[in-house]
Amino acid sequence: MKKIATIILFIGILSTSFSVNAQMLERANKYFESFSYQEAIELYEILWEKDSLNENVSKQLATSYRMINNSEKSELWYARLVHSNIATSNDYLYYARALQSNKKYEEAKIWMDKYQKSTSISNFESIRPKQISDLKKDSSRYRVEPISANSEQSDFGAAYYKNEIVFSSAKERSSIIKRNYKWNNQNYLRLYKAEVMQNGDLNNPKLFSGKLETNYHDGPVCFTADGNEMFLTRNNVSSSKRAKRDGEGVVNIQLYHCKKEGNKWSKPELLPLNLEEYSTGHPALSDDGNSLYFISDRPGGFGGTDLYVATKTVSGWSNPKNLGEHINTSENEMFPFVTGDKLFFASKGHYGLGGLDVFTIDLKQENAKPVNMGFPINTSKDDFGLILKNGEGYFASNRLKGETYDDIYHFAIVSRLLKGQVFNAETKEILGNSKVSLLDDQGEVLESIDTKENGKFEFMISKVADYKIESVKEGFSNGLETVLAVNLQNTVEYNLSVYQMPIPKVETKKDLLVQSGMVLENIYYDLDKSNIRKDAAEELDKLALLMIEYPDLKIELSSHTDSRASDAYNMALSERRAKAAVEYIVSKGISSDRLKAKGYGETKLINHCTNGVKCSKAEHQANRRTEVKVLEQY
């Protein structure tokens, strides 16, 4: 009887344990489904301690740690998950990204390649360890320092506002009612402004505007150049300031617009660019204020959040245009910023060091590709939200604190990369093995390199100034391109193409004269005169320059007259004209033994001006000319 009672007690305890675990799992799942990942993690880890073979709990833990951006714990749980029976191709991707964020690039490449083989999605870059090494080699290109205004919580989303910087922060505030963002247990974001110090540091942060606050996230933002209009990202809230959730329970972000009214801001109004049930945010204005860039996960994109642009019209804003596959990938593109023709943005889809990396692209260059800004702007962690003015600016990163604890950094561009390629101007094919030189604005050579078959060249410059790039190759005219300082100020990498025109093979000195571009017009004289007119002098000056450039060139100047006098007179006049032309050339420093004067008397080209037939002025002039003839020898 006692044995039976013990068995019954054991069954009761076991039943109670199952019941407790089931209740805990239900609570953990509710936290997970409501995006309260920190609370969900605590319960899932207890459950896993009790049953380490539960693959579903491992998957929930891997996902939760990924969502709060903890790459170390995310790697740990995905390492278990990818070898389980429930692993999917996306788990390979997330595992690769976690390894990459933890600087385990070789291993990350293995799992990224495995992911790409298991999916049809291909519009993002694989992990390339060699290129990653290249991104780190020029670490002296930037000077990077954290700002003093950073808090213990997340600070990011810097924006220029008059002489200050406005940013979003989750910093602690003295308040009776504490409201935390359940996703990561930080405070909801508020807008702050800070003073810009001479060295670029940000100090004395203050609340930007209490009137603009909601009970949810506010920011990031951007402003018009005069600071009188603001485009604001915030959670989608109702008129009663309650969150509006989509069909999956997500509170999307939306774009708002407001204006300065005296010392206060007007009530933010939703922009028509928003799309119900989808997120729209992270605004960035072009310098002229006519183009608004933003992110959205709306249908028709390439996956995740894509970058879009809308153009200002008379009636408002145009329909948003996706920036296309050169910029957008199947992963997230975020935090755009525009200055001049340069777009800066953050992405996980283009090859980088890990997490979000900052990229730049020339919007005016057709088929341009995003350029990774390299270390130390980018690290294996999340780096994003870059803004730039006059060669320096700000960006955010979680490189020190990890997870979603971001800090703002000030940076300055110390050196810039000038790079390009040489092409055949006639065929547009790559022209290799040229000597390419970097020249200053006075034409002095600063540096030269010999290109290889690919025709590529690179120069690192530390000074913002005007430069020239000259390319020289035998059999081709020299290529010369100008790089202006104004285009270098906010550029980290300037790309250009240099073109060289092939020089045809010279068979005779006559070919040389034609190829030189110095094809002379006929040299005309006044009636019965042999003096050199002004228009004739201009042509003869060209000939003198040509003979200076080509010292082995010999010229015959042959003169003709019309047929209105005797043969003897016509011959004498044509000889005087030819000699006058030769004497003019000699006066310019050309040796007389390189010149020959020849009078031919009456022209044979037009002779119908005799017998009383009246000729036109043009016909008469055609009969009073000196021709240039290139001599091989005499």
Q: What are phi and psi of 407, to 5 degrees?
A: -125, 155
Cα(342)–Cα(377) distance, rounded to whole angstroms? 17
**Does the pLDDT value for residue 631 go beyond 80?**
no
Please name the residue that has the structure tokens 């002296």. Answer: 140
- What is the SS3 assignment for 211? helix
The answer to whether residues 157 and 167 touch, using CB atoms and an 8 Å cutoff, is yes
pLDDT value at residue 504: 75
**Does the pLDDT value for residue 389 go beyond 80?**
yes
Q: If pLDDT is split at 50, 70 and 90, which confidence band does 624 have?
A: low
pLDDT value at residue 69: 87
Please name the residue that has the structure tokens 């990369």. Answer: 417
Considering only CA atoms, give the Rg of the chain: 38
pLDDT in tens, 105-129: 999 999 988 998 888 776 666 777 7
Pairing of strands 595-602, 554-561: parallel
**Does the pLDDT value for residue 181 go beyond 60?**
no
More confident residue, 525 or 427: 427
Q: Which of 307, 397, 305, 402 is nearest to 356 (CA)?
A: 397
Residues 6+ apart with CB under 8 A from 441: 465, 466, 467, 468
**Does the pLDDT value for residue 230 go beyond 90?**
yes
Residue 149's Cβ-count burial label (10 Å; 0-12, 13-18, 19+) is buried
More confident residue, 243 or 520: 520
More confident residue, 614 or 368: 368
HSE at residue 381, side-chain half, CA atoms within 13 A, is 18
The answer to whether residues 309 and 285 touch, using CB atoms and an 8 Å cutoff, is no
The answer to whether residues 127 and 350 touch, using CB atoms and an 8 Å cutoff, is no
Q: Mean pLDDT, to the nearest integer, of 415-430? A: 94
**Does the pLDDT value for residue 337 go beyond 90?**
yes
Q: Mean pLDDT, to the nearest integer, of 310-324? A: 93
The answer to whether residues 451 and 434 touch, using CB atoms and an 8 Å cutoff, is yes
Q: If pLDDT is split at 50, 70 and 90, which confidence band does 440 have?
A: very high
pLDDT value at residue 19: 67
Residue 522's Cβ-count burial label (10 Å; 0-12, 13-18, 19+) is middle
DSSP class per residue in 229-261? EEEEEEE-B-TTSPBPB-TTS-B-EEEEEEEEE
**Does the pLDDT value for residue 611 go beyond 70?**
no
Q: Which of 46, 158, 103, 107 is nearest to 388 (CA)?
A: 158
Q: How many other C-beta atoms lie within 10 A of the C-beta of residue 610?
A: 11
pLDDT value at residue 632: 47
pLDDT value at residue 405: 85
Q: If pLDDT is split at 50, 70 and 90, which confidence band does 189 have?
A: confident
Q: What are phi and psi of 105, to 5 degrees?
A: -70, -40
SS3 track for 435-461: EEEEEECCCCEEEEEECCCCCEEEEEE
Q: How many other C-beta atoms lie within 10 A of the C-beta of residue 615?
A: 18
pLDDT in tens, 67-108: 988 999 999 999 999 999 999 999 999 999 999 989 999 999
The answer to whether residues 527 and 499 touch, using CB atoms and an 8 Å cutoff, is no
Q: Mean pLDDT, to the nearest integer, of 388-402? A: 91
The answer to whether residues 79 and 95 touch, using CB atoms and an 8 Å cutoff, is yes
pLDDT value at residue 345: 97
Percent of all residues in the chain with a pLDDT value above 90, rounded to a whole number: 47
Q: Which of 268, 216, 211, 267 is nearest to 243 (CA)?
A: 216
pLDDT value at residue 605: 44
Q: If pLDDT is split at 50, 70 and 90, which confidence band does 209 have?
A: confident
pLDDT in tens, 476-535: 999 999 999 999 988 888 999 999 999 876 566 556 665 555 555 677 788 788 888 888
pLDDT value at residue 365: 85
Q: Which of 37-51, 236-250, 307-321, 608-622 has the highest mean pLDDT?
A: 307-321
AA identity, residue 236: N
Dihedral through CA 130, CA 131, CA 137, CA 139, nearest 10?
Answer: -140
Q: Which of 49, 56, 52, 46 is nearest to 23 (CA)?
A: 46
Cα–chain-centroid distance for residue 101? 24
With 0.85 as the threshold, say if the pTM is over it.
no
**Does the pLDDT value for residue 336 go beyond 90?**
yes
Please state, rounded to an integer, the average pLDDT across all residues of the chain. 84
